Structure 1
Amino acid sequence: MRLRNLIILTVIVPLFLILVVFSLVAIHSLEDNVRSKLQTEVQIITHAIGTSLGYALARDSPESLEESLHSAFSFHRIYGAYVFDVAGREVYGLGLGRELFEPEEIRAVVEDGELTGTYRQHDGWTYYSALMPLATPGGEVRGVLQVNRLNTGIENYTGFLTLVAGAVFLVGSAGIVFGIWWGFRRHIERPLNRLLEVMARVENGDRQQRAEPRGPEEYRRLAVALNGMLDAMAEKDADIEARRLNEIALEKQLRKSHKLAELGVLAAGVAHEIGAPLTVINGQAQRLARRETIGDDERARLTRIRGEVERIVEIVRQLMELGRRHNVEKEWTVLNDLVQAAQTLVEEDLEQRGIVLETALPRPSPRLLANGQQLVQVFTNLLRNAVQAEGTRRVRLSAESRGEQLRLRLEDDGDGIREQDKPQVFDPFFTTKPVGQGSGLGLSMVHRIINDHGGTITVFDSDLGGAGFLVTLPLEDSLADGRSVTPFNEPPIQGRQT
């Protein structure tokens, strides 16, 4: 049962029943009191004039009889007075109500010898009539006195007043019930429904819902408490989600580290096995190229052979670098100097392709504890990756300090990254370039260096239209024990690999 109906049934209805009973008892008591007063007054008047009428009957004096009856009309609301003989015949009378009693009723009063009173109706009027035997001073009953009083005052309207009071009570009760219903609905039910609606939406998964602290003070306090509970739950959920993402990222990092370690072992074995043959091939090609008996075409082919051999050696070296655990030697360095060094290394590529490089670096330039040479390699690889992207005409490099972290963003307006290629951007040997134009190890090397510095690198879709890389680095040394720990302060964003 709803609280509103429960309050009406258990509180309002019993209260109204008590008021109804009390009102009926009060009206009934008022009616009895009025009638009792009326009867008492009539009986007193009857006794007052009855004595003088008894003497008048004893003297057999019509004048005294008439004078005594006239004196009855000096009292309030006496409308009739009659004298009857013992046979019930009228002797003398004045006013209204002569025919209220039959002769038999008058003779019965003579026989009883007691004053009696009763209510009678005649011609649409209600009377209270008192009948009293008239006795001489010697005690002989010589007649009967009838005194009539008309119900023209409040005693005549007690029934009507009862009906009016009942109607007023019903109307008032309906108004009170409606007022309670409306007040309950506005000040209790509506605020409660708002809170229940918020709780239902939260239960359905909308954890951002909050209650509006309005309405009565109790509901405002309840809404504030509910919002506090939801905020605490949101904080806990966010903490759990962050831990979950961090565990996923750490698991991915661990798998990548194992993969790179295995790759390093494989590269070391490959380097050992093919090192000697490659040295022989390179040496023989160099000796053949020095002979004057060969033509320019053969010499160019030998030069290409030596270039490819050197490329194989470089790839093997990079593989060994990827799989090897590094103890980074760090020193305090200035960010602007590192960016300027990387820009100098790619300046020729920028000019050849007509690409504009925009930089937005903080002033003064932040200092960070890092291996400057490795970070220059990172920035150089990222810039070359942007420059070599199809359709690139503009590259933007920006940085900012947030607390104890440095955030560097590099974006371009090229063709961007295909959706299916994004999960593999930092995998070794993954490249979108034609065969022979890229080893697919550049961004893997960048990822390894950033990870060795205790930072993160993610890739996202730039608002310039192409790809963007976000590098986060600690300004101070966060790897005091030499272990690589990758914080994941932001969810991974999609990216592109060269």
Structure 2
Amino acid sequence: MRLRNLIIVTVIVPLFVILVVFSLVAIKSMEDNVRSKLQNEVDMVTHALGTTLGYAVARENDTSLEEALEAAFSFHRIYGAYVFDPNGREIYGLGLGRELFSREEIQQVIEDDELYGNYRQFEGWTYYSALKPLRTPDGEVHGVLQVNRLNTGIENYTGFLSIVAVLVFVVGAAGIVLSIWWGFRHYIERPLNRLVTVMLRVEDGDRQQRASIEGPEEYRRLAAGLNGMLDAMAEKDHDIEDRQRREIELEKRLRKSKKLAELGVLAAGVAHEIGAPLTVINGQAQRLARRDVIGDNERARLSRIRGEVERIVEIVRQLMELGRQHNVEKDEQPLDELVYSACALVEEELEPRGVRLEITLPSPTPTLLANGQQIVQVLTNLLRNAAQANGVSRIRVCAEQQRQELHLWVEDDGPGIPTSQHQQVFDPFFTTKPVGQGSGLGLSMVHRIINDHGGTIGVFHSPLGGAGFEITLPLYDTRPT
């Protein structure tokens, strides 16, 4: 059952029933009181006239009888007075209601020898009549006095007043019910429906819904409590999502670290097996190049052989470095010094290509706990890759401190990296450069260094139009002590 109907059934209806019963009892009591007053007045008039009329009837003095009956009409609303003999025949009378009682009823009053009163209907009028035996001073009954009072004024309207009172009560009750219904609907049901609507939408997945804080104080407090609960849930959801994201990133770093470690073991074996043959090849090529019997063409080919051998040796060294476990020695490093050191190392490559370098650093410059040489290596690698991309004329380096982390962005206006390759750019041997111009190990080395520092690195589409790399590094040592 709805709350509105429950209140009507358990509170309003019983209250109205009690009021109806009380009103009917009050009206009935008023009516009885009016009638009792009417009867008492008629009885008092009858008693007052009884003695005088008893003497007049005993002496058979018509003048005294007439004067006594006429005196009865001086009382309020007395409309008839009659004197009957013991046989019920009229001796003398004035006014209305002579035939209200039969002879037998009059004789019965003489036999009962007491005052008798009753309501009677005659010719469409309602009377209250009292019959009293008339006695002489010696106690002998000589007749009966009848005094009639017509029901006029409030006596005739008690029934009508009762009906009017009931109608007024019904109309008033209907107005009260309507007012209660409107108040319940406006101040209770509507605020509840708004809260229920918000909760249903939240249940359907719309976690941004909030209740409007309006209405009575209780509902404002309830809405504020609901909003607080939803805000707390949203904050918890955000924390859970952030934790899941960090766990996913950690899992990715662990997988990549495992892959690099396995690759390092493989590289160590490869380096051990091919290191000596490469040294022999390089030495023999160098000896052949010193002989005078060979021409310039053969000497150039030998020089190329030596160059490729050195390239192989460098790749093997990078592989061994990539897969090796590192203990990073950190100290406090000012960010601006690291950035400007890296820019100075690649300046010779930027100027010939006409690349403009933009640097935006926070002030004051933050200090981070890191291995300065390795961070410079990371920045140098990213700047060099950007400068070597086709069509690059602008490189931007900017940083921002957020709580206990440093966010560093390196962006360019080149062709960028396709979205489909964002997950592969840090894999070993993956490169977008032509064959022979890159080993594909530079970004893998960058990833390993950032990972060793407890940070993260990701690739995105830069607003400049090209590729962008975002580095996140802790400003303080996050390793457990």
Fold shared by both chains (TM-score > 0.5): yes
TM alignment of 1:289-368, pairs within 5 A = 289-291=289-291, 294-368=294-368
Relative distance call for 1:427 and 1:149 in structure 2 (3 A) is same
Q: Which residue of 1 aligns with 2:385?
A: 385
Q: Which residue of 2 aligns with 1:375?
A: 375
| SS state at 2:426 partner | coil
| SS state at 1:385 partner | helix
Q: Which residue of 1 aligns with 2:220?
A: 220
Distance 1:293 1:94 in 2: 179
Distance 1:236 1:291 in 2: 76
Q: Which residue of 2 aligns with 1:493?
A: none
Q: CA deviation at 1:377?
A: 1.1
| SS state at 1:134 partner | strand
> Which deviations, in whole Å up to 9, do the C-alpha atoms of 1:297-346 show, x marking residues without a partner?
44444333332222222111111111011122333332222212222232
**Does the aligned pair in 1 maintain the 2:253–2:451 contact within 8 Å?**
no
Which residue identity lines up with residue 8 of structure 1 in the other structure? I
Unaligned runs of 5+ in 2: none
> Which deviations, in whole Å up to 9, do the C-alpha atoms of 1:73-113 show, x marking residues without a partner?
11111122223334444333322333434445444444544
| SS state at 2:206 partner | coil
Q: Which residue of 2 aligns with 1:462?
A: 462
TM alignment of 1:98-177, pairs within 5 A = 98-177=98-177
Unaligned runs of 5+ in 1: 482-498
| SS state at 1:408 partner | strand
| SS state at 2:114 partner | coil
Q: Which residue of 2 aligns with 1:191?
A: 191
Relative distance call for 1:445 and 1:29 in structure 2 (3 A) is same
Relative distance call for 1:304 and 1:97 in structure 2 (3 A) is farther
Which residue identity lines up with residue 255 of structure 2 in the other structure? R
Q: How many residues align?
A: 481
Distance 1:55 1:109 in 2: 19
Distance 1:190 1:63 in 2: 85
Q: CA deviation at 1:480?
A: 7.3
TM-score by length of 2: 0.91
Relative distance call for 1:430 and 1:134 in structure 2 (3 A) is same
> Which deviations, in whole Å up to 9, do the C-alpha atoms of 1:138-164 show, x marking residues without a partner?
444333322121222222211112112
**Does the aligned pair in 2 maintain the 1:453–1:479 contact within 8 Å?**
no
**Does the aligned pair in 1 maintain the 2:35–2:155 contact within 8 Å?**
yes
Relative distance call for 1:74 and 1:378 in structure 2 (3 A) is same
**Does the aligned pair in 2 maintain the 1:52–1:68 contact within 8 Å?**
yes
Relative distance call for 1:466 and 1:88 in structure 2 (3 A) is farther
Q: CA deviation at 1:185?
A: 2.6
Distance 2:62 2:29 in 1: 43
> Which deviations, in whole Å up to 9, do the C-alpha atoms of 1:134-189 show, x marking residues without a partner?
33334443333221212222222111121122112222222222222222333333
**Does the aligned pair in 2 maintain the 1:341–1:376 contact within 8 Å?**
yes
**Does the aligned pair in 2 maintain the 1:386–1:412 contact within 8 Å?**
yes
TM-score by length of 1: 0.88
**Does the aligned pair in 1 maintain the 2:257–2:448 contact within 8 Å?**
no
Distance 1:462 1:338 in 2: 23
Q: Which residue of 2 aligns with 1:9?
A: 9
Relative distance call for 1:75 and 1:297 in structure 2 (3 A) is farther
Q: Between the two proteins, what is the percent identity of the paired residues? A: 75
Distance 1:480 1:205 in 2: 39
Tell me whether 1:85 sits opposite 2:85 in the alignment. Answer: yes
> Which deviations, in whole Å up to 9, do the C-alpha atoms of 1:404-452 show, x marking residues without a partner?
3322111223333322212222211122333223222111111111122
Relative distance call for 1:395 and 1:124 in structure 2 (3 A) is farther
Q: Which residue of 2 aligns with 1:424?
A: 424
Distance 1:186 1:276 in 2: 92
Which residue identity lines up with residue 401 of structure 2 in the other structure? S
Distance 1:130 1:67 in 2: 20
